[in-house]
Structures are given as structure tokens and as C-alpha cells.
Chains A and B, each alone.
Chain A
Amino acid sequence: GNSVTQMEGPVTLSEEAFLTINCTYTATGYPSLFWYVQYPGEGLQLLLKATKADDKGSNKGFEATYRKETTSFHLEKGSVQVSDSAVYFCAPSPGSSNTGKLIFGQGTTLQVKP
């Protein structure tokens, strides 16, 4: 079946550190891949996406590359800020689906300390 696995949190980093949040998935067909961010008490915001193999999504200094061979979509940022503290969700959209449904991982909490 369709599923996604994210690294467990919380991930605690100092400001300006390098961030990697791992995400691997199993999905039917050829999924599109999304990263969402959730700030405390809010809904989810789209952070970046990639729709085909080797695509790199990027936004606000975050990047993720669609790796079909390893079924991964790891999120990276070269220098995190305190304001990046949030929960991050990896969410593939199964390629066989025409409903727009997403599969959500459990989320990874990032805490950035000054």
C-alpha cells in the first residue's frame, strides 16, 4: 500500500546549522511529492514540491530532490533560523490517484535554538 516514513523528531539544532529531514515513501504509480510546514496552532502550508524524477523543489532556502531510485524526498536547508521551528510533513500524492489525495507522514518537529 501507499505509505511514507519520516525521521522521528524532535530534531534540535542551533541557529545556522545544516538541516536534513529524511523522507522515504511507497506509492503506486508515479507520485508527485510535497513538503508542508505547520507552525504552532496553524494549518499546513505548502513548502515545496516536485512532480517528476530528479526534479528539485525549493523555497525559502529549503530544497528537496525527487529520487525515484531510492523513493526518497529528503528536505534540506543549509542554515536554519529560529523562525524555521515548526513541524514538517512529507506527503506524496499517489500517481494512480486522480482524487488529489495525499499520504501524510507523522511529521518531524524541528526546534532551532538561538
Chain B
Amino acid sequence: DGGITQSPKYLFRKEGQNVTLSCEQNLNHDAMYWYRQDPGQGLRLIYYSQIVNDFQKGDIAEGYSVSREKKESFPLTVTSAQKNPTAFYLCASSIIQGAGNQPQHFGDGTRLSIL
């Protein structure tokens, strides 16, 4: 079955440490997205990418970095500059043709906590 796989499901970060969240999709989608979800709140866009080797900042990009070296993969690094990283992180993808009419498909998320 096609879908989006996020790993790990749970992740712990020590002070001053960078951690990387994995997101892989086999849907052949061009666009991929990273969101942050805090308890009782909606989703906030961190970064998105419409094509390999290109990505744009979303609304809350500070303290995060991404890469898009392959169409299938869009890893997110939470750097030590992100002072409040505890949250649920969701990755999504969509096709880009007629993008405004296309839904995003989501992974099951990674829950990041501070040790």
C-alpha cells in the first residue's frame, strides 16, 4: 500500500542536541510538508517543498532545517536553536498539479519530547 512513513514514533532530545525526524513517501507526490501540532491547537507549517532540491519556509521555520535530496524523502532536523521543541510533528505530501484542489496525505506523526 502507498503511504507516508514517519519514524521514529517517539523521540527524545537532550539539551543542545540536534535530532532528525524521518519522512518517506511512496505515493510519487511532488510536494511534501512538515507541521507542528501543540496540544489543543491546530497545525502550523514549518517547511514545505514542491520539488527535489528546493524548499520554502513556512510560518514557524526558526530552529528547524530540512533537505529534499530525493523525491521520496523530506527529513526534518530540530536544532538546538529550537528552544521549545516538545510537540507532535506531522509530515504530509500531495500532488502538485492542480495543487489547490488536492488533499494532503499525512503520516502517523512523531512525538518529540525533551529529556
Which residues of A approach B to under 8 Å, CB–CB?
A: 29, 31-32, 34, 36, 41-46, 49, 51, 89, 93-95, 97-102, 104-107
- Across chains A and B, the number of contacting residue pairs, with CB separation under 8 Å, is 71
- Residues from chain A with a CB closer than 8 A to the CB of B104 are 44, 46, 100, 102
Contact between chains at A97 and B100 (CB < 8 Å): yes
B45 contacts the other chain (Cβ, under 8 Å)? yes
In the complex, the answer to whether A34 meets B42 with C-beta atoms within 8 Å is: no
Name the contact of A89 in the complex, choosing from B43, B92, B96, B100 (C-beta under 8 A). B43
Q: Does B40 contact A (CB under 8 A)?
A: yes
Q: Are A93 and B100 in contact (CB under 8 A)?
A: yes
Band of interface residues on B: 20 to 34
Q: Which residue of B lies closest to A4 (CB)?
A: B42
Interface stretch, picked from B12-20, B63-71, B105-113, is B105-113
Query: Contact between A99 and B48 (Cβ–Cβ < 8 Å)?
Result: yes
Asked whether any CB of chain A lies closer than 8 Å to the CB of B84, the reply is no
Which one of B35, B41, B95, B103 contacts A49 once the chains associate, using CB atoms below 8 Å? B103
Q: A44-B90, A97-B100 are in contact. List 7 more A-B contacts (CB 8 A).
A: A42-B108, A42-B109, A49-B103, A100-B99, A105-B42, A107-B40, A107-B41
